[in-house]
Amino acid sequence: MNYQHSFHAGNFADVIKHLVYVYTIEYFQKKDTPLFILDTHGGCGLYDLLSEHAQKTQEAHYGVMKLNHLDSRHSLLNRYLSLIQPYLNQNVYPGSPCFAAALLRKQDVLRVSELHPPVYESLKEHTIGFKNIYVTLQDGYESMRAYLPPKEKRGIVLIDPPYEIGNEFTLCAQSLKDAFKRFSQGTYIIWYPIKDHHAVSHFKKSISSLSCEKLELTIELLTPGFKDKLNKAGLLVLNPPYLLQENIQELQSALEQVMAVNIDTRIL
Ligand SMILES: C[S@@+](CC[C@H](N)C(=O)[O-])C[C@H]1O[C@@H](n2cnc3c(N)ncnc32)[C@H](O)[C@@H]1O
C-alpha cells in the first residue's frame, strides 16, 4: 500500500466529504434512538498540517485553510468550522474518525476499520479514551460484511478507499450491492476520484439498480497548480438525509469563492 492520506488531509475533497459527514451524523441524531456508524477506510484520524507530506503538496493550504476564519452564518458551515477550529489551532486536521468521535452520543456506536498497520496504530492512539468507538485492523469491505446490518437498525456507512488497486470501483460496487441486501435503509457515503471517467460511469451504472435515492456531488479544484494532480472528486450519498442537497447548494457560492472550486449536486 502506497497511499498516505497525510499528503491530502484537509484538501478540497476532504472539506466537502466532512461537511456531508457532519450533516448526516447530526441529521440522524435529531432522534434519540441509537445510531451506528461504520467508517470502512478510517485513515489515522489526525493529520499534522506542518508535516513534510502536507507541506510538500500544500493541499490543505488550498482547501481547509481557505476557510479558516471565514465568517459564515450558515449553520452547517459554522458547525464544521467550530469542530475543526480547535484542531487547526494546533496545526492539525481531523480525519473522519475524529469528526464522528466528536459528535458521538452515549447511545451511538462507531466502528472504524483500517488495513495499514502503522496507520491503524496511529488511529488507535488518536481515538483512545473515547467510549463506544471500536477500531479494527481489517479490510473495509470485510467490515461491511461483518457489521451490517447493525443491531441499532439506523446507520451511516462511510466508504473512503484510496483507489490504488485497479478494481477498487468494482469491489466497492459489489460490496455496496451486497450490503444493501442486508441493510437497505442505511445511508452510504462513498468518496471517489474523478480521473478515469469510464470507471466512474461504470461504477454509477453498476449501482443504479439499487432502489434508493442517490445524491451525487462533484467538486473540482480550479487552482492552476493542481491541473496535473487529482483535482476532481465525487461523493455519492445513497439514502441522503433530508435537505442535504439544499444545504450544500446554500453553501455552494461561498465555498466556490473561497476555495476556487466548482461544485455540482444532482439526484441520479
Ligand atoms: C482516503 S484515506 C481515509 C481518510 C478518512 N476516511 C478521512 O476522511 O479522514 C484511505 C485509508 O484507507 C486505508 N486502506 C487502504 N485499503 C484499505 C482496505 N482494504 N480496508 C481498510 N482500509 C484501507 C489506507 O491505509 C488509508 O488510510
In this structure, the residue with its CA closest to atom 6 of ligand 1 is 42
Domains of the chain as residue ranges with CATH = 5-267 (3.40.50.150)
Q: How many CB atoms neighbour CB 74 within 10 A? A: 14
Is the pLDDT score of 2 beyond 90?
A: no
Calculate how far, in angstroms, residue 261's C-alpha sits from the geometric centre of ligand 1: 24
How deeply is 69 buried, as exposed, middle or buried, from its count of CB atoms within 10 A (0-12, 13-18, 19+)? exposed
14, 39, 108, 160: which is the annotated catalytic residue? 160
Nearest CA to ligand 1 atom 26: 43
Which grid cell sits at 228?
Answer: 496535473
pLDDT (tens digit per residue) in 125-145: 999 999 899 999 999 999 999
Q: How far apart are CA 181 and CA 167, in angstroms?
A: 22
In this structure, is the dihedral angle defined by the CA atoms of residues 76, 108, 45 and 159, taken in order, positive or negative? negative
Q: Whose CA is nearest to atom 16 of ligand 1?
A: 115
Q: What does each C-alpha distance from 132 to 67, 123, 211, 268 come to in angstroms?
A: 31, 15, 31, 35
Ligand 1 center to residue 60 CA distance, Å?
18
Catalytic site includes residue 160:
yes
Question: What pLDDT band is residue 72 in, cutting at 50, 70 and 90?
Answer: confident
Output the CA–CA distances (angstroms, integers) from residue 230 to 27, 93, 154, 206, 235, in the order listed: 30, 20, 34, 24, 15
Decide: 148 and 184 in contact? Cβ < 8 Å: no
When pLDDT is averaged across residues 43-49 and rounded to a whole number, the result is 97
Q: Is 195 a residue whose pLDDT tops 70?
A: yes
Cα torsion 5, 175, 249, 211 to 10°: value is 180
Could you give the CA distance from residue 264 to residue 181 in angstroms, rounded to a whole number?
Answer: 29
Identify the sign of the CA torsion 68, 69, 71, 76: positive
Q: Can you tell me which atom of ligand 1 is nearest the CA of 18? A: 8
DSSP 73-122: --HHHHHHHHHHHHHHTTTEEE-HHHHHHHH--TT-EEEEEE-SHHHHHH
Return d(Cα 188, Cα 170) in angstroms, integer: 16
For residue 69, what pLDDT is reported? 66
Centre of ligand 1 from the C-alpha of residue 243, in Å = 28
Using pLDDT thresholds of 50, 70 and 90, give the confidence band for residue 1. Answer: low
Q: Report the separation in Å between the CA atom of 74 and the middle of ligand 1, taken as the mean of its atom positions.
A: 30
pLDDT of residue 225: 80
* Ligand 1 cavity residues, CB under 6 Å: 1, 3, 5, 17, 41-43, 95-96, 113-116, 119, 139-140, 160-162
Mutate to test the pocket of ligand 1, among 2, 5, 14, 235 (most ligand atoms within 8 A of CB): 5
